[in-house]
Amino acid sequence: QLQLVESGGGLVQPGGSLRLSCAASGFTLDYYVIDWFRQAPGKEREGVSCMRSSGISTSYADSVKGRFTIFRDNAKNTVYLQMNSLKPEDTAVYYCAAYAYGSSCKNPPYWGQGTQVTVSS
């Protein structure tokens, strides 16, 4: 009964901010890592974040580095993606995905349903 539910997407103007939430149930963040992915129409899915092997810090795609950050609330079993200085190129469906710690962020077995982020003036 592992489940992930994204929320917080919407329409935002360029330069604006959004905070996406990924609520996890059926497991705790003590055992699983949650990272973010996105997919724009006609494009391949790309990783937004990836937990480093140390399990302490997160790396980000070059396209979002310095603008997007992940933070966690373990008590709520929720991971957030704070998105600042949004660009039209950030328009995509954003997914959170979970995997056991020690596994690769490239192969998450559990996925949320996605939430649409549209950056447009």
Q: For the segment 12-23, what is each residue's pLDDT rounded down to a tens digit?
A: 999 999 999 999
Residue bearing tokens 């997914």: 95
List all residues 6 or more positions away from 42 whose beta carbon is below 8 Å from its beta carbon: none
Burial of 65 (0-12, 13-18, 19+ CB in 10 A): exposed
Whether the per-residue pLDDT at 28 is higher than 90: the answer is no
Question: Do strands 3-7 and 115-119 pair parallel, antiparallel, or not at all (unpaired)?
Answer: unpaired
Per-residue pLDDT averaged across 63-76, rounded?
94
